Amino acid sequence: MHTYIVTVTAADRVGIVHAVTGAISERGGNIKELSQTVLRGYFTIILAVEFDGPRDPKAIREAVATRGERFDLNVAVLPDEGRHVDPVPGGDKFILTVLGEDKPGNIHRIAGSLSRRGVNIVDLHARTEGPRFSLVMEAFLPPDLKPAELRAELEQFGAELGLEAYVQHEDIFLATNEPRPVRVGSARNPEGSDVVVPH
Amino acid sequence: MYRTEDVLATLGMVRHYKLDVRTVTMGIDLHSCASPDVATLCDRVRHRLIHYAGRLREVCQEVQGRYGIPIVNRRIAVSPIASVAAGHDAEGLLAVARAMDATAAEVGVDLIGGFTAQVQKGWTESEKRLIEALPEVLSTTQRVCSSVNVGTTAAGINMDAIALLGRILKDTAERTRSHDGFGCAKLVIFGNAPTDNPFMAGAFHGAGEPDCVINIGVSGPGVVKAAVEDLVKSAAVRPTLGEIAEEIKSTAFRVTRVGELIGREVAARLGVAFGIVDLSLAPTPQVGDSVGEILQAMGVERLGAPGSTAALALLNDAVKKGGSFASSSVGGLSGAFVAVSEDAALAAAVACGDLTLAKLEAMTAVCSVGLDMIAVPGDTDPETLAALIADEVAIGVINHKTTAVRVIPVPGKAAGERAVFGGLFGEMDILPIHAAGGSTAFVRHGGRIPAPLSSLRN
């Protein structure tokens, strides 16, 4: 099996998902994973598509763009060569929340601080409402990094920028927001490892 | 991806509304420490406490760091010392209390409960000696807390024990006169005491429990108050009391979940059993962390006014419902505490005369504990204190619920003067006792009030 990562962006319109997935189906592709979001009226979708043999990425891109011509899609296709395999083996998933005053460069500086510590961001949402900035991210902490250490560093860094920073294991959000039984350790993967499994 | 709103809602409970894990209480069975030699007994007690609780502080800090939820207090509850130290004299009992006190300091816990006797139906010589030792123990140790169970629905009420406790309270208060009789704040007198109660000062490790267990006391009056306030303010139409109850229930669910997660994690890391979550709305003297303020958010602006008891009943029931859906391990006292000196709003209501002892007693019929942290005049006679205890215990015994009394006769001070206990124990104006001294003969009869009939309940 050969997997390709397809990314599509466009101004949001009704029917884009239908067009993109139609182009993939016509060429015999099977969607293994898909994530889509709309941000300020802009549509973005990323798909992992599996084919039974090798395909020319350019041909896939053209097929999607043609099928969605009326939406003026920006399409990119990359062969999946396993580069997405989590570079941080083991480690737990934590939710990092940063709240405070909106200033240019906030996210860049926070991401820099996390990067130096080997923290792998896997999902991130940030927004500003008036002068207020909020950021919520899911991130894997390396096994040797204590959350209290990271919190202390972010708090110190946040104090300089007028931001509050919180580092909390994801289980606390599962426990308070979902009626499933409380489990200690990662409730998403009872084996204890939150590593993204390579395809 | 988690919804940003869900993440912020959970975080907001900690940031703005003072959600915390009030106590991680390690219950430890001490029966195997028993010895006819006092030194051996004390040595065994120390070693057993260190064996189980030696890493408690470290593990709590790790877990607090993992979840970003403050763990405010670490505590230990032990088997009732009246049975562990049976046969020892007053000096021996005092030595055990001092060993508990010193070891609690050594392992970094702020209170150790279990200097306890259960005398609901009758008392052994050892149990009586333990009660008699209380003034000395409570006035000369820092961390040791005590409880005495004096009645149950099955056994009735031991009025001899209650009469003795009236005198014990007076003596303890006098020995801690410089702190407004604070020693009495470390003694809880129970009717229908639960066996797995992690909340001090009445905590002890009861029969039917394993060698060591982690119990959790979660509190959250600030969170519940904020939820009720938000509902009332944001609703286009005035919410019904049923809708308010639903809001409290769902908030209690979240709060209980936090407790269960942290309790299970602490227990797993220590390799011991997880016991129960006691979901109690226990106030602190901080503004915004008050049970009284929840009632005010519900519309009972003057605490003690008619309607206060009904509002408290609604609150207590909704908390239990939310908690019991969140966890199958909810136990202890679970509900709302009306600890007066510890609750800024209740203390203010006492000071302005809205909240009286009689109204507090009525409210305890529907809440979790009873007459809790209540300062009364220092010249109250022992029989009147005993009668006050008997009334409260009778409410619990007849109604099949736990009730308790933590009352402090403040030496040298009269009704209306200020009693100051400090820290989390707070302060309050001393409440007058109506018709004090009017039931001395009743108390002096002694004996046992028989167990109530369990059929024909009305």
SS3 for chain B, per residue? CCCHHHHHHHHHHHHCCCCEEEEEEEEECCHHHCCCCHHHHHHHHHHHHHHHHCCHHHHHHHHHHHHCCCEEEEEEEECCHHHHCCCCCHHHHHHHHHHHHHHHHHHCCCEEEEEEEECCCCCCHHHHHHHHHHHHHHHHCCCEEEEEEEEECCCEEEHHHHHHHHHHHHHHHHHCHHHCCHHHHHEEEEECCCCCCCCCCCCCCCCCCCCEEEEEEEECHHHHHHHHHHHHHHCCCCCCHHHHHHHHHHHHHHHHHHHHHHHHHHHHHHCCEEEEEEEEECCCCCCCCCHHHHHHHCCCCCCCCCCHHHHHHHHHHHHHHHHHHHCCCECCCCEECCECCCCHHHHHHHHCCCCCHHHHHHHHCCCCCEEEEEEEECCCCHHHHHHHHHHHHHHHHHCCCCEEEEEEEECCCCCCCEEECCHHHCEEECCCCCCCCCCHHHHHCCCEECCCCCCCCC
CATH number of the domain where residue B185 is located: 3.20.70.20
Chain B residue with Cα closest to A169: B67
B 346-365 residues inside an 8 A Cβ radius of A: none
- Give domain limits for chain A: 2-80, 92-175
- pLDDT of residue A191 exceeding 50, the answer is no
CA distance B349 to B213: 39
What confidence tens digit (pLDDT) does each residue in B135-155 have?
999 999 999 999 999 999 999
Inform me whether the pLDDT recorded for B278 exceeds 80.
yes
The amino acid sitting at A134 is: S
Give B-chain residues touching A134 at CB under 8 angstroms. 4, 8
Interface of B with A in 15-34 (CB under 8 A): 15
Q: Is the pLDDT at A184 greater than 80, yes or no?
A: no
The pLDDT of residue A45 is above 70: yes
Q: If pLDDT is split at 50, 70 and 90, which confidence band does B39 have?
A: very high
Does the beta-carbon distance from A182 to B327 stay under 8 Å?
yes
Place of tokens 């205890």: B389
Provide the residue range defining the domain that includes B297: 1-334
Of B67, B269, B277, which to mutate for an interface test with A (greatest number of A Cβ within 10 Å)?
B67
> Which residue in B1, B9, B65 is closest to A123 by CB distance?
B1
State which residue of chain B sits closest to A150, comparing Cα positions. B65
Q: Is residue B118 part of a domain?
A: yes
- Beta-carbon contacts of B418 under 8 Å, excluding residues fewer than 6 positions away, are B427, B428, B429, B430
What confidence score (pLDDT) does residue A194 get? 35
CA distance B147 to B207: 15
B340 lies in some domain:
no
Give the whole-angstrom CA distance, residue B136 versus residue A33. Answer: 70
Percent of chain B with pLDDT over 70: 100
Of A150-159, B126-135, B224-233, B396-405, which range is least confident? A150-159
From the list B104, B188, B204, B193, the residue with the least C-alpha distance to B138 is B188
C-alpha separations of B449 from A160, B346, B382, B402 in Å: 67, 32, 19, 17
Q: How confident is the model at residue B1 (pLDDT cuts 50, 70, 90)?
A: low
pLDDT, average across residues A164-182:
88
Residue B6, chain A, CB below 8 Å: the answer is yes
| B445 has a pLDDT exceeding 90 | yes
- Closest to A176 (Cβ–Cβ): which among B66, B254, B325? B254
Pick the CATH number of A2-80 from 3.30.470.30, 3.30.70.260, 3.40.1000.10, 3.40.50.300: 3.30.70.260
**Residue A177 with chain B: CB contacts under 8 Å:** 2, 6, 9-10, 254
Mean pLDDT over each residue of chain B, to the nearest integer: 94
User: How big is chain A by its Cα radius of gyration, in Å?
Assistant: 20
Cβ of A13: how many Cβ atoms within 10 Å? 14
- Give per-residue pLDDT as tens, B2-30: 788 888 888 888 888 878 898 999 999 99
What pLDDT was estimated at residue B110? Answer: 94
pLDDT at A188: 42
Residues of chain A found within 8 Å of residue B65, distances taken between Cβ atoms: 146-148, 151
| Kind of pairing between the strands at B144-152 and B111-118 | parallel
In this complex, how many residue pairs, one in chain A and one in chain B, have their CB atoms less than 8 Å apart? 76
The pLDDT value given to residue A197: 29
The answer to whether A42 contacts chain B (CB < 8 Å) is no
B211-227 pLDDT tens trace: 999 999 988 899 999 99
Residue B432 belongs to a domain? no
Tell me: pLDDT of A86 over 60.
Answer: no
Q: Which of B305, B312, B430, B426 is nearest to B364 (CA)?
A: B312
Question: What percent of chain B clears pLDDT 90, i.e. is strictly above it?
Answer: 82
pLDDT at position B286 is: 83
Mean pLDDT (chain A) is 85
User: Mean pLDDT, to the nearest integer, of B272-276?
Assistant: 94
How much is the pLDDT for A190? Answer: 39
Whether residue B92 is contained in a domain is answered as yes
Mean pLDDT in residue range A34-58 = 94
How crowded is the C-beta side of B309, counted as CA atoms within 13 Å? 12
Residue A36: Cβ within 10 Å count: 13
Identify the band that residue B403 occupies on the pLDDT scale cut at 50, 70 and 90: very high
Q: pLDDT at position B252, please?
A: 92
What residue type is B48 in one-letter code? R
Which helix (H) or strand (E) element contains residue A14?
A: none
Please, which pLDDT band fits residue B182 given cuts at 50, 70 and 90? Answer: very high
* A60: three-class secondary structure by DSSP: helix
Residue A150 DSSP class: H
Q: Which two tokens stand for residue B424?
A: 């989390």
* Contact list, B265 vs chain A (CB under 8 Å): 184
Q: Which residue of A has its CA nearest to B269?
A: A184
Residue B303 and residue B309: Cα distance in Å, rounded? 10
Q: Let me know if the fold of A2-80 is the same as that of A92-175.
A: yes
Q: Is the peptide bond before B77 cis (omega within 30 degrees of 0)?
A: no
Q: How confident is the model at residue B280 (pLDDT cuts 50, 70, 90)?
A: confident
Task: Give the whole-angstrom CA distance, residue B307 versus residue A183.
Answer: 41
Which stretch of A14-23, A88-97, B356-365, B402-411 has the lowest confidence by average pLDDT? A88-97
- Tell me, what's the pLDDT at B424? 87
DSSP state of A73: -
pLDDT (0 to 100) of residue B62? 92
- pLDDT for res A7: 97
CA distance B52 to B74: 13
User: Rounded to a whole number, what is the distance in angstroms from the first to the last CA of chain B?
Assistant: 53
CATH topology (fold) of A92-175: Alpha-Beta Plaits (3.30.70)
A164 interfaces chain B, CB cutoff of 8 Å: yes
Which of A123, A136, A182 minimises the CB distance to B261?
Answer: A182
pLDDT at B197: 83
Q: Which of residues 80-109 of A touch B (CB under 8 A)?
A: 95, 97
Q: Give the model confidence (pLDDT) of B108-122 as tens digits.
A: 999 999 999 999 999
pLDDT at residue A108 tops 60: yes
User: How does pLDDT run across B288-302, given as a tens digit for each residue?
Assistant: 889 999 999 999 999
Of chain A, the percentage scoring pLDDT greater than 70 comes to 88
SS3 A29: coil
Question: What's residue A88's pLDDT?
Answer: 53
8 A C-beta contact, residue B165 and residue B189: yes
Specify the range with the lowest mean pLDDT, choosing from A63-72, A90-99, B365-374, B384-393.
A90-99
C-alpha distances (whole Å) from B170 to each of B114, B146, B269, B385, B410 are 21, 16, 44, 9, 9
* Inter-CA distances, B377 with A105, B13, B163, B171, Å: 63, 39, 18, 14
Residues A69-78 have pLDDT tens digits of: 999 999 999 9
CB contact B271 to A (< 8 Å) = no
Asked if the model's pLDDT at residue B319 lies above 80, the reply is: yes
Domain count, chain B: 1
- Per-residue confidence band for A84, with pLDDT thresholds at 50, 70 and 90: low
B336 — pLDDT class (breaks 50, 70, 90): confident
pLDDT of the residue at A85: 59
SS3 percent helix, strand, coil of chain A, rounded to 5, is 30, 35, 35
User: Residue B267 falls within a domain, yes or no?
Assistant: yes
Measured between beta carbons, the chain B residues lying within 8 angstroms of A121 are none
